[in-house]
Amino acid sequence: MIQLKKITVLFLLITVGINAQSTYKKWPDIIRKNDDAWFASAEAKKIAENVLLYQRNIGGWPKNIQMQQELSPQQQKDLIELKKTAAETTTDNGATCQEMLFMSKMYAQVKDERYKESFLKGLNYLLEAQYDNGGWPQFYPLKKGYYTHITYNDDSMVHILNVMKEISEQSDFYSIKPSKEIIEKTKKSFEKGIDCIIKTQYRQKGVLTAWCAQHDEVTLAPAKARAYELPSLSGKESAKITLLLMSVERPSPEIITAVQSAKAWFEKTKITNLEEKRVVNDAGKIIEKKMIVTQNASPIWARFMELDTNEPFFCDRDGIKKKSLEEIGAERRNGYAWYTDEPKGVLKKYAAWAAKNGLKVSGIETSAKKKDNFFTVAQDGSGDFTKIQDAVNASPSFPYEKVTIFIKNGTYTEKVRVPEWNTHLAFVGESKEKTIIAFDDNFSKINLGRNSTFYTYTVLVEGDDFSVSNLTIKNTSGDKGQAIALSIVANRAQVSNCIISGNQDTLYLSGKEAKQYFKDCYIEGTTDFIFGSATALFENCIIHSLKNSYITAASTPEGTAFGFVFKNCKLTAETSATAVYLGRPWRIYAKTVFINCDMGKHIKPEGWENWSKPEAEKNAFYAEYNNKGEGFQPTKRVSWSHQLSKKEAEKYTTENILRDSIQNWHSK
């Protein structure tokens, strides 16, 4: 029995997630004040001095500090000493992100440049703390232990990405406007973060589900944190992650798949027969917590669920799993949030989000969209079509919204053409390795004269604003001369997480003033296996040479600012390939640049070849910057190629390369 003397005990049936009325006694509550004028008050300025003191020189802040509490002279002196230590700087429990918001609100009312500088230092801290794979650790500089894991816990990474999103979109959320260079960095940071989220979504027996509160920073697998925070699927953290993905304008096929999968998992794992009963004292502290069986209760979700079965579990500080909340001790039972209602926000917003993106809801089209915005192709007859081309033919011409063709696993032996009138079309495969489009045409087989190459495609894209993700496109004719796997003669095309496989002339990229984007792809071939006149950016791709020959053969039109640009790519080869050129000019104004790429030893020291066209040495633009690997030998490159300066390399941003209208800055 609980002894009640000076404590008044209140029995309340509380819906999980509803907070008590704010009293503004806590630091986060002060930051969320909506009274703009208060941030110009003497009280606010005094608190701001504390916030400035707590910020370390590295830019971050420690967590769980009541910044509004008055500091003694000795405490102020101690904090000045701590500034240079970077001790306990973190993004956990809202730290750093919330202090940046406070500084932004202060600067909006009081143009003290120290507030602006503090905000920008905080932003730089967040940018520096990001892993190359897009995630963030809990503490930076890195602190030993589970703190190095990619941390979704308590929505830490979501908070950071929301900062990056607001700044990269140049919204009015923050009063402080960084430089264009910083804005570009936040844009890249956001894209990397979303990519990390996509890659860490857990597959349960091949089906995408949700996320763990933390993931290993190397393997990306669900990871353990504290003794009672075991690898699991998180009902809480996964909600904010999904809402963040839903906030992305013009979501990629990968984002759409991630949201759909998470929503389906939330539907599957919701609990509608339990409510949480809390016993609190007059100070608002929970002194007892129980789960009560209730019919038709408002849905809640467990904080931790088994990775393979979705079964809720609970842990005490001994790390031993229990099947019910009652089985763990009072300290952890009452001092931790074991259930949440946050996924209700996802389910509430999903229908509108699906309608906006032309998707089906529970197998039925939303009233705002027609049936011709989404098709499924499946060889077993479970979809709308069994052939991809039939789905393309059924798609509307020049639609106002994106049309998605979801392709289930299987090998589709067919030539697929996306005509010029089928714009805004998206191919989304069920899986990169098992969704395969293949055909075996080659130059000799086509036999239509000197231009036979262009008829050999497996997939031909003529419609603008095309995207394809999560599948393989192959030309299976073998090493029998020119044989295109993917031919894109369209503008604003995007290819992500795909395998493009062939031999000679694997990938043809063209189209009048066309801009095309390849991300996280594997592209392999032999001679000139990436060729054409388009402006194309390749990021984080593996470029694999099957034999000694040439990787690129650009035919960039005269006066075009960019041709083929490879950034953060890895150049690999079969063991038999030991002498591969980066490129040769199909036309004399060819442009090809490699930036931050890892080049294997198969790349020839001279790097480039003129294709018996001396005039190309004066007109072509072949360049590199900051590459690495045995194949990067800048001092041995042909004299007519270039090693970019840092300033020159900075012009190769995604925005500059891919925007539709651009000045020829090479002439400036």
The residues that bridge with 628 in the sheet, in sequence order, are 598
Q: Which of 384, 505, 520, 598 is catalytic?
A: 505
DSSP for 333-398, please give it: HHSS--EE-THHHHHHHHHHHHHHTT-EETTEE-TTS-GGGEEEE-TTS-SSBSSHHHHHHHSPSS
Q: Which two tokens stand for residue 341?
A: 């209602």
- Calpha distance 190→251 (Å, rounded): 13
CA 444 from centroid of its chain's CA atoms: 42
User: Number of C-alpha atoms within 13 angstroms, CB side, residue 449?
Assistant: 1
Q: Is the C-alpha dihedral spanning 449, 454, 457, 463 positive or negative?
A: negative
| Annotated catalytic residue 195 | no
Q: Is 368 left (phi over 0), alpha (psi -120 to 50) or beta?
A: alpha
Per the structure block, which two tokens stand in for 201?
């979504």
Half-sphere exposure of 660 (CA within 13 A, CB side): 6
Q: Which two structure tokens, joined as six digits, stand for 625?
A: 């910057």
Q: How many angstroms separate the most distant Cα atoms in the chain?
A: 98
* Residue 496, number of CB atoms within 10 A of its CB: 22
Which residue type is seen at 507? L
Q: How far is CA 525 from each of CA 454, 542, 546, 563, rounded to the nearest angstrom?
A: 16, 12, 6, 20
**Residue 309 DSSP one-character state:** T
555, 587 in Cβ contact below 8 A?
yes
- Whether 528 is catalytic is yes
Given the residues 154, 528, 598, 660, select the one marked as catalytic: 528
Q: Are 120 and 178 in contact (CB under 8 A)?
A: yes
Dist. CA 659–CA 256, nearest whole Å: 24
- Angle 297-302-306 (CA atoms, 0-180°, nearest 5)? 135
204: β partners = 207
Supply 643's token pair: 């090693």
Measure the CA–CA gap between 48 and 68, rounded to whole angstroms.
8
577 neighbors 556 (Cβ within 8 angstroms): no
H or E, element range at 593: strand 591-595
Contacts of 543 (CB under 8 A, 6+ apart): 523, 524, 530, 551, 566, 569, 570, 571, 572
Fill in the amino acid letter for 530. Answer: I
Active site residues: 505, 528
